[in-house]
């Protein structure tokens, strides 16, 4: 087993991604990509409200065919964005998160498919210059001030409906597949329930068909530090001090729960229960706590506390099909489905994907199930998915 002592979490992620992708804009890469913006007005939300103007960033790889039916949609995870492959410039240190899977001759072959990825509503990082999203931090056209908590509660279905509006604007007539990890997997499966005649295949990576009480309560732990921060001020902090401390604690919790102890203990092996400072001073942190705090602090730069709260709620509300039960919700599905949970995932545990898979089989639908092996836990769906490249390629090419 490789030892990874004394390395920060962001640096380690960079190391892993670099190991999985080319260090240059080689022929097997999608190369340089452009970020574009899609806008729509008077967007109706699932809960019956309306957003005056929606803007989301998107990017694409490959070529759209004449029939406009060779499209694969990539739906991103909770803390991610539309940058699934390629680089924005030759100086970029890292490509998109699935660059090892998307490109000419790769599992998601851009010589064959036109691959689209978009930012979601209420993206976690509205202050990231490479993200375009609409959410609580956006200006309300009616007031000229940030929406704050006046922004409507949005759901995974709303994410899907914005993507559908984007595809309609491009004249896309159907999706060869929708592929997504974590929160992206929820979107992928809901696509098949919302637009069953539009979607041929779904690949759900580290996902679920519905969240259960355990998962709802777990996700709430990400929201609680923000709500408890006095600077949150019931969401009205845009003219004052932001709840950075609560946001840092929340992002630290996200990082911790997305990892398995197998990898976490390697990354932070230098921390020890025998450290002397915590023995003598209750205010002194263990090294691992300081390191995790530093990694989370770095992530607050582009993040917004209200956006994180809205993302948490969208995930907590999820059931594919938004019906009274999962079987009813999945009953419209006509797409072939492939579930790829991670064996060591402690966040969206494999039983959640297995329940959706078994429900589809009981409904007489076509579904496959395989688990991703690895030491990362939930993050195996990003960092270890290449082990399923052959299966993904075969599934996408199947009749």
CATH of the domain at 243: 3.40.50.1820
**Catalytic status, residue 345:** yes
Question: Active site residue: 82, 138, 182, 204, which one?
Answer: 182
Contact between 188 and 198 under an 8 Å Cβ cutoff? The reply is no
4 lies in some domain: no
Reported as half-sphere exposure (CB side, CA atoms, 13 A), residue 184 has a value of 31
**pLDDT the model gives residue 28:** 57
Identify the CA nearest to 93 among candidates 7, 25, 179: 25
227 sits in the region (left: phi over 0; alpha: psi -120 to 50; else beta) called alpha
Q: How many CB atoms lie within 10 A of CB 397?
A: 9
**CA separation, residue 226 to residues 221, 300, 309 (Å):** 10, 12, 8
Rounded to whole angstroms, the Cα distance separating 176 from 105 reads 17
Rounded to whole angstroms, the Cα distance separating 224 from 221 reads 5
281 lies in some domain: yes
**pLDDT the model gives residue 270:** 78
Confidence class of residue 268 from pLDDT cuts 50, 70 and 90?
confident
> What does the pLDDT look like over 194-226, one tens digit per residue?
999 999 999 999 999 999 999 999 999 999 999
Q: What mean pLDDT do residues 353-360 have?
A: 98
Rounded to whole angstroms, the Cα distance separating 342 from 207 reads 9
Question: Active site residue: 158, 190, 304, 345, which one?
Answer: 345
Match 């199930």 to its residue by tokens: 369
385 lies in some domain: yes
1 lies in some domain: no
> What does the pLDDT look like over 111-151, one tens digit per residue?
999 999 999 999 999 999 999 999 999 999 999 999 999 99
Number of domains within the chain: 1
Asked if the model's pLDDT at residue 228 lies above 70, the reply is: yes
Rounded to whole angstroms, the Cα distance separating 318 from 157 reads 8
**pLDDT the model gives residue 12:** 46
> What does the pLDDT look like over 4-25, one tens digit per residue?
333 344 444 443 444 444 333 4
Contact between 307 and 135 under an 8 Å Cβ cutoff? The reply is yes
Domain, as residue range, for 342: 9-397
2 lies in some domain: no
126 lies in some domain: yes
Q: What mean pLDDT do residues 65-84 have?
A: 97
**pLDDT the model gives residue 211:** 97
Rounded to whole angstroms, the Cα distance separating 37 from 286 reads 44
**pLDDT the model gives residue 20:** 43
**Which residues is 108 bridged to in the sheet?**
102
Question: Active site residue: 83, 176, 260, 378, which one?
Answer: 378
pTM for this entry = 0.93
């Amino acid at each position: 087993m490789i030892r990874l002592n004394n390395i920060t979490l962001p640096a380690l992620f960079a190391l892993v991604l670099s190991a999985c992708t080319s260090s240059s804009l080689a022929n097997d890469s999608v190369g340089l990509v452009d970020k574009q913006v899609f806008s729509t007005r008077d967007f109706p939300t699932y809960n019956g409200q309306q957003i005056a103007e929606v803007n989301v960033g998107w990017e694409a790889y490959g070529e759209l065919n004449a029939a406009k039916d060779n499209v694969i949609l990539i739906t991103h995870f909770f803390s991610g964005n539309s940058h699934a492959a390629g680089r924005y410039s030759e100086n970029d240190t890292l490509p998109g998160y699935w660059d090892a899977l998307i490109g000419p001759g790769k599992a998601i072959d851009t010589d064959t498919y036109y691959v689209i990825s978009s930012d979601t509503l209420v993206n976690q990082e509205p202050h990231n210059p490479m993200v375009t999203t609409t959410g609580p931090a956006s200006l309300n056209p009616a007031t000229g001030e940030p929406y704050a908590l006046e922004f409507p509660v949005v759901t995974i279905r709303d994410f899907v409906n914005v993507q559908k509006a984007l595809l309609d604007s491009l004249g896309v007539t159907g999706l060869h597949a929708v592929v997504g990890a974590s929160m992206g997997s929820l979107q992928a499966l809901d696509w098949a329930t919302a637009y069953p005649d539009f979607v041929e295949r779904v690949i759900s990576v580290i996902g679920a068909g519905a969240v259960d009480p355990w998962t709802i309560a777990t996700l709430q732990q990400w929201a609680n530090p923000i709500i408890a921060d006095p600077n949150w001020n019931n969401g009205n902090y845009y003219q004052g001090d932001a709840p950075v401390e609560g946001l840092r604690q929340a992002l630290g919790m996200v990082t911790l729960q997305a990892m398995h102890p197998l990898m976490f203990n390697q990354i932070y092996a230098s921390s020890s229960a025998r450290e002397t400072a915590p023995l003598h001073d209750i205010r002194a942190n263990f090294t691992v706590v300081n390191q995790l705090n530093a990694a989370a602090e770095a992530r607050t730069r582009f993040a917004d506390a209200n956006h994180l709260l809205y993302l948490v709620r969208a995930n907590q509300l999820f059931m594919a099909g938004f019906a009274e039960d999962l079987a009813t919700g999945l009953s419209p599905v006509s797409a072939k489905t492939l579930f790829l949970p991670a064996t060591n995932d402690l966040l969206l545990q494999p039983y959640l994907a297995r329940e959706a898979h078994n429900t589809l089989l009981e409904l007489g639908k076509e579904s496959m199930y395989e688990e991703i092996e690895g030491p990362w836990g939930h993050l195996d769906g990003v960092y270890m998915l290449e082990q399923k490249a052959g299966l993904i390629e075969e599934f996408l090419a199947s009749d």
